[in-house]
Each structure stands twice: as structure tokens, then as C-alpha cells.
Structure 1
Amino acid sequence: MTPAPSSTAPSSAPPADEAGPRPRTGWRDVANWADWAALVGLVVLVVVFQALNPTFLSAGNIQSMLVAAAILVVLAVGQTFVVATSGIDLSIASTMTLAAVVLGIVFTSGAGLLPAVVAAVVAGGLVGLANGLLVARGKITDFIVTLGSLSAASGLALVLSDGKPATIISAPLLRLSTGSVGIIGYSVVVAAAIAVGAHVVLFHTRFGTHVLATGGNAEAANATGVRTARVKTAVYVIAGLLAGVGAVLLVARVGAAEPAANTAFLLNSVAAVVLGGVSLFGGRATVLGPVIGALLLTALVNGLTLLGVSQFYQPLSVGVVVVAAAFLTRFQK
């Protein structure tokens, strides 16, 4: 008698040794290090600089670093919204400079501090609106648009101020830069509030979902009903408004509205976003990461200054850190 065929079909799954490599987890997985690069780098810097100079973690120096980082945190948060849509804002530092000049002009005209602050933030928002409309509606590459507005905003700041800084003497602004709750300065509180608000908007609102969807795949997002042009315009407006807030913090810190643009803020705002693990291709973002990245860059410059390292080496060190972080982003999950 012919034996009955087996009712169990042969498995189509490949043998265990042919199933392909298993995903690695744990400390040997480079992707884990990429996700935590900013935090790990910050901890390493703190340990090294404290060992080399015991004053690094003194209360006074910590307060100084946090105040210095507050402006960069605000700019980095604004840059995060733009980068999350796979864009970039090269004009954010020049926008801050123009907003600072507007603040100085309005304040010195006798209008008072509050109108001057509002004017500065509105000026930043208008530059952001122009950027957003040209990118989203004009279909011009964000790099070209923001490169042009970088130059335009810088030139307009020089024209409006006649190239001269305006001294701002205001008790409330002075308290904003020097007042504190413990070692936490008021400017740090402002930056922290903005970061928390940005996190809520980006991850707990429909708008935030649309931002990430636009950065992930604009065509697919548009097909599902997301108005990608409005989203792109909105993120540049957000970056401009936050540049205006950064201008207020900057004027409060230096006591004057300087018409000269500080390109370090532009480079460091992008660097903080890269260090924080935000994908430059869009669709993947975080707010805590860029905040930590801003703290890392501030700690790096502060530590090198305490060690007496020439300021000429500081941009070099920042560049090395950013390139290393960009390399790690290749392995992000």
C-alpha cells in the first residue's frame, strides 16, 4: 500500500542560518549611540572640563552657560520646525539681527519697551512669512530663498540703523538678563517655556503631525489632505517669530541693538539641530535633542574659554563635533 501523503506542508521559511542578520540591540548598536549622541557628548564634556578646571561646575559658571545657551535654544527650536519639513533657514541669525535693530529703533523713539518687543517679534515673523511664501508658493529652493533673505535682512538692519548700535537702557530688560530663580535665569525660563510649548505643538497637535508628515513625504501628505504649502509657510513664520524672541533676549544680554549679524548663531542653530538627532531629510524630529545640542555647544565653547584655549580653535572644535554628529545620523533608526 502506498503511504498516505503527509498533511503537513513543508515550511517555506528559510533555515535559521539563512534567515538573514538579526537586528542588534544594546550598546553595540550604533543606532542607539546616534540617538543619544548629544546627551552622551554633553556628559563627556562636563566630566572632562570639570576634571581640567574645577570652576566649570561652579554655580556662577553654570548660570552663565545657561543664560548664554538660552538664545541658541530659542533659535534651535525655530530651526527644528523648518528642518522637520526637510527645509532649512539660513536667515535665522540675520532675522534676529534685524529684529534687534527694530526693537532699538522703536524703543529709542520713545514708544516704550512693550511696543518695541512686539515690533521686534513681528519683524521677525514678517521675514519668516516672506521666506515661507517664496518657498511654498513660489516653489523656490529653501536654500536660495533663505540665503537671499540672509543678505537682505542683514543689509536692511544696517540701513535702518545707519550701521550704529542703539543703546537700550531698560530695567525690565536688565532683569530679564540678570534676574534669576536660584541659578536659573529669567531668560532660561523663557527658553524652557518655548521648548516645552514647541514639544506640545510638534507632538500633541494636528499641526505637528502635519509638519512631520510634510517632511516625511510631501506628496503623500498632500494626497491625504494635508495642506503642505500652508504647513511650510507656517514653519518659516515660527522660525521668524522665535528669531524675534531671540533678538529680545540678545538685546537684554548685551544692552544694545547691534546691527552686525552674528553668523555663529546661524551655524550653531543648525549644529544643535544636527546634534539633537533631527533628520535633515525631514519627517523625524525632536525638541529635547536640539536643546541638549545647544547646551553641548555652549558648554564646549565655555570650557575651552576657561582652559585658555585660543578662540581661533573654538569654531574648529564645533565643526568637528558637528561632522561627527552628522556621521552618526547615518545610523539612526
Structure 2
Amino acid sequence: MSTAQATRPKAMTSLVDNARQLSFWAEHAAPIGLVVLVIVFSILSPTFLTLGNIRAMLVAAAILVVLAIAQAFVITTGGIDLSIAATMTFGAISFGLAWQAGLGFWLAALVALVAAGAIGLINGLLIAKGKVTDFIATLGTLGVATGLSLIVSDGKPITVNSTELLTLTTGSIGIFGFPIILAAIIGVLAWWVMFRTRFGLHVQAVGGNEESSVANGIAVAKVRIAVYLISAGLAGVAAILLVARVGAAEPAINTGFLLNSIAAVVLGGVSLTGGKARIGGPIIGALLLTALANGLTLLGVSQFYQPLAVGLVVVLAALLTRYQKK
């Protein structure tokens, strides 16, 4: 028997052994779940895998992908950003007001990023310098951002008719709309920052062991401020995508984006206790949640049941994370 022939059965045996372990399912929950959903929904609904529906799903997933990447940076440090959806709403309202004031698309986009970034800076300073727990700090800024959005907009949507936003909404390369292409570019950049830069290593180190990070000379406070700025900045990008999708800046917060951004990160295998970074996993988790909502809609399932389905998937993923390899 040749060496190649002897190696092949061993490799197959190793794969089967891994598949029998809960750690295997925990590490690959998002891709496995996505494949299962695609198979099930494609059988139950003939329109699920049509090019039009795939493109619609990818465009719909873009906002959640960006928010999941943002949340992944924070959660890797062992924190959480409960204000991310409210920050996105505040960014959207800021964009709408700037557009209404005649600043044009690009200046309005800059205003949205700065406004969202301000919320992130406040979060970072409260947590890193003020020693307020991340849960309380971001819960507080959630209320602040929500209140400001309602106050400055007088609680009314701001319609935005922009050529650039129309292009962003309708433009595509093949089945890939511009929103998902933008989200993919952000994903690649985020992966590079997290795994190919010193800052990314510091983010993982802070989440893994803060005391050890301090002992090794890592500026923990600066890292924490930076991840909340990144989270808020990406929420600002998501705000622009949201305005492009809806055609208006809505002052009402969509809590679904907050819950799903955390859910996507959990599904993607990022440890909620910090120290374990992933970018691809949360992206796949976001695609999985979008596919789940889309498939249930195509099957005529009431929207009342969709949060239930998402919740069950997330609880299962959270249970599986107990068996992830350290």
C-alpha cells in the first residue's frame, strides 16, 4: 500500500472523529447552520435560490454584516455594545439633517460618521477612564442616542432623495449589490486589522487577560476606547446603508439590529468572555440570520415567530460555545 493510500483512511477517520465531538459543531456552527438552512429552504420554497432572491438577501444582509463586524471588535475585548443600533439611528438622523441642510451626500455622510463616532468616544471614555461597566455605559448611551434622534428630528422621518444613495441601493456587480460589496470590503479590512496588525493582537490580548496585557505594556485604556470608536464608526457606515435602503432617516430605533448583531457574533464563534477573535464567523452568522428571516417570510410564517426562531438558534449556538476549543 502506498503512503498516499495509507494516509487517506487516517484523514477520513480523523474527520469523522472530529465530527463526533461537540467542539467540532461549536467551532463551525455558523457555516453548518447556513448550509442546512439553504438546503431546507431551497426544498420548501422554489424561489429561495433564485438569483433575484439571493441578491435581495445579500443586500438585506449588508447592514447586519457591518454591525456584526463592529460588535466583534468590542466583544473580543470582553465588552459589549448595547448602543450600536441607537448609534446607527443617530447617525442616520444626522445624515438626514445634514442632507436637508443642503450639505450634499459626501458631507452628510461625514456628519453621520462623526455623530456616530461621538457616541463611540463617549462609550470608550466612560468604560476605559470612568471605569463604568460596559453594560451600564452602553445602556446609558443607548438611551441618550435614542432621545437625541427623536429630539432633533421631532420624531419624524427625514426623506432623502440622493442620486448617490439611489446608486448605492440599486447598483450591483452581477448578483452582488453595492451594499454587500461595501460590507465585504469592510470585512477584509477588519480581518487584516484584527489578525495582521499590532493593534489587533492587543485587542485579543486585552480580552484574553487584561492584567497580563497591562504587565506587557499594552495601553489597555486606549485599546478599549479604540474598539468602541471602531464600533460606532461602523455603525455610522451602517446608518448610511440604512438610509439608502429605506429612502429616509427614521428616528425610531430598530432593536432587532442590536440583538442580531450580538447573535451573529455568538453564531460566528466569538467568545462572549473575550480573547477569541473572528471576523469571518460573525459575517457568516449575519448571513445565516438574514437567510433565516428571508426563508421564513417566503414560507409565509408570521413575523411574530421570526424572533422566536432567531432566539432558539442563538441559544443553541451559545450552548455550543461551551464546547469550543480554547
* TM-score when normalising by structure 1: 0.92
- Structure richer in helix, relative to its length: 2
Q: Determine which of 86, 101, 104 is the counterpart of 1:94.
A: 86
Runs of at least 5 residues in structure 2 that lack an aligned partner in the other structure = 1-15
Are residues 1:75 and 2:73 paired?
A: no
Alignment deviations for residues 275-299 of structure 1 (CA, whole Å, 9 cap, x no partner)? 0000000000100000000000000
The equivalent of 1:301 in structure 2 is 293
Are residues 1:34 and 2:26 paired?
A: yes
Are residues 1:155 and 2:142 paired?
A: no
SS at match of 1:312: coil
Runs of at least 5 residues in structure 1 that lack an aligned partner in the other structure = 1-23
* Cα drift, residue 31 of structure 1: 0.5
The equivalent of 2:233 in structure 1 is 241
Q: Determine which of 300, 313, 332 is the counterpart of 2:324.
A: 332
Are residues 1:273 and 2:265 paired?
A: yes
Tell me, in whole angstroms, the C-alpha distance in 1 between the residues paired with 2:18 and 2:145. Answer: 47
Q: Determine which of 116, 123, 131 is the counterpart of 1:131.
A: 123
* Cα drift, residue 171 of structure 1: 1.0
- 1:177-326 to 2 correspondences below 5 Å: 177-326=169-318
What's the Cα RMSD here? 0.8
* Cα drift, residue 25 of structure 1: 4.6
Q: Count residues in correspondence.
A: 310
Counterpart AA for 1:201:
V
Counterpart AA for 2:139:
L
SS at match of 1:26: helix
Tell me, in whole angstroms, the C-alpha distance in 1 between the residues paired with 2:17 and 2:187. Answer: 30
Tell me, in whole angstroms, the C-alpha distance in 2 between the residues paired with 1:25 and 1:245. Answer: 43
* Cα drift, residue 28 of structure 1: 0.9
The equivalent of 1:141 in structure 2 is 133
Tell me, in whole angstroms, the C-alpha distance in 2 between the residues paired with 1:25 and 1:37. Answer: 17
Alignment deviations for residues 75-107 of structure 1 (CA, whole Å, 9 cap, x no partner)? 000000000000000000000000000000000
Tell me, in whole angstroms, the C-alpha distance in 2 between the residues paired with 1:122 and 1:73. Answer: 21
- 1:44-83 to 2 correspondences below 5 Å: 44-83=36-75
Counterpart AA for 1:123:
A
Alignment deviations for residues 213-244 of structure 1 (CA, whole Å, 9 cap, x no partner)? 00000010010000001000100000000000
Identity score, percent: 63
The equivalent of 1:13 in structure 2 is none
SS at match of 2:305: helix
Alignment deviations for residues 139-189 of structure 1 (CA, whole Å, 9 cap, x no partner)? 010000000110110000000100010100011101101110011000111
* Cα drift, residue 117 of structure 1: 0.2
Tell me, in whole angstroms, the C-alpha distance in 2 between the residues paired with 1:53 and 1:202. Answer: 38
SS at match of 1:192: helix
